[in-house]
Structure 1
């Protein structure tokens, strides 16, 4: 018996969520990638404290959905796993391309690319792979993909904020040190490290102070 794994390409449809309205008054457009276990429409609640007239938020939706608990009631989603990571990354990047094409973001606004937890991996990869010039890149409580190197971000002029809680249960002291050192190597003088008193949680107060 011969077992073989094959690949096919096909057209897929996925949703994404937005908050507020993109108008001539918009100053900042946020592209926010949720963490594992979230749905994009619920992730938007962390950005409701921003000025609605000046901030337009786009939240892509990870395609791989699953039930969070055994009650089969609440649904979450995941961006990537160790299974077929390269292929799944390519799919996510093409999905992001489609969102940017659909939204047609003006050139005169500040583009802020934001990743939280698992969302850091796809946010950082997208900026690097598409050489996306943005005003800010926010890496909140997540790991920077190992395959990314300093040369991948030579083009980037953005302010880069590395945010995490001092008591993050997924972050040991050694991991924090290694992640900070890697970020310094990748982003050099553009890097701003922001530590807060808290666990693995979205820090709304810091979000509201980014603009």
Structure 2
């Protein structure tokens, strides 16, 4: 018999810089598969530390990345028990945001990179979040999300999708088809590219909101 149990769990997350009265933008950033949040958050070190505060949740599923059992990576979701795991992760993100007590005077930006796109978009849709910006980088948009899941978004939310021109994980035909689908769901979306591959290029974020 396949059974289920409910229990309390503890997870970590990382932050970069200090949240003060001078902070202008708070970033909630979701790493891709294979990352740990404490390494992923370093990609944002070039942003002005006085004006930007970064929160990086940690995917709960850890694994060894190669056969020497030294490097550890993490994954948000797999095809196994996805519905329950998604619920657990979204509850965890709620707890992180509640813990941080993001002040109202700041702009709130949600960013997902690679696999993190699926978490960022699902959290916004399920919790009806109104961020100043939603940034999706080198990741696929969840198949189950439709236009009605984002009907609550105001016109002030800036939505941006960024993809490397040399990203080996995407074929141009599939990319173009996905653009049409996502544009129908999020009409305000802006598509950007950079000359790199499957990576987060911090320079593309300088005028994101």
- Report if TM-score (shorter chain) is over 0.5: yes
Aligned to 1:196: 194
* Conservation of the 8 A alpha-carbon contact between 1:49 and 1:208: no
Q: Structure 1 residue runs of 4+, over 4 Å off? A: none
Aligned length: 207
Aligned to 2:144: 147
Aligned to 1:81: 78
Alignment counterpart, residue 133 of structure 2, candidates 136, 139, 155: 136
Alignment counterpart, residue 206 of structure 1, candidates 184, 201, 204: 204
Shift of 1:174: 1.6
TM-score, normalization by structure 1: 0.96
Residue segments in structure 2 that go unaligned for 5+ positions in a row: none
* Conservation of the 8 A alpha-carbon contact between 1:47 and 1:207: no
Residue 163 of structure 1 aligns to a residue whose secondary structure is strand
The 10-residue stretch of structure 1 (32-41 or 177-186) with the greater mean CA deviation from structure 2: 177-186
Aligned to 2:167: 168
Aligned to 1:5: 2
The 10-residue stretch of structure 1 (35-44 or 148-157) with the greater mean CA deviation from structure 2: 148-157
Residue segments in structure 1 that go unaligned for 5+ positions in a row: none
Supply the distance in 1 between the matched residues of 2:18 and 2:177 (Cα, whole angstroms).
Answer: 39
Question: Is 1:117 equivalent to 2:114 in the alignment?
Answer: yes
Aligned to 2:34: 37
* Partner deviation per Cα, 1:136-160 (whole Å, 9 max, x = no partner): 0000000000000011111113100
- Give the root-mean-square deviation of aligned CA atoms: 0.9
Shift of 1:209: 3.6
Question: Is 1:126 equivalent to 2:126 in the alignment?
Answer: no
Residue 210 of structure 1 aligns to a residue whose secondary structure is coil
Aligned to 1:49: 46
Shift of 1:202: 1.1
Shift of 1:207: 2.4
**1:63-82 aligned within 5 A:** 63-82=60-79
Shift of 1:183: 1.6
Shift of 1:208: 3.2
Residue 135 of structure 2 aligns to a residue whose secondary structure is strand
* Partner deviation per Cα, 1:24-80 (whole Å, 9 max, x = no partner): 001100000000000000001110111101100000000000001111001000000
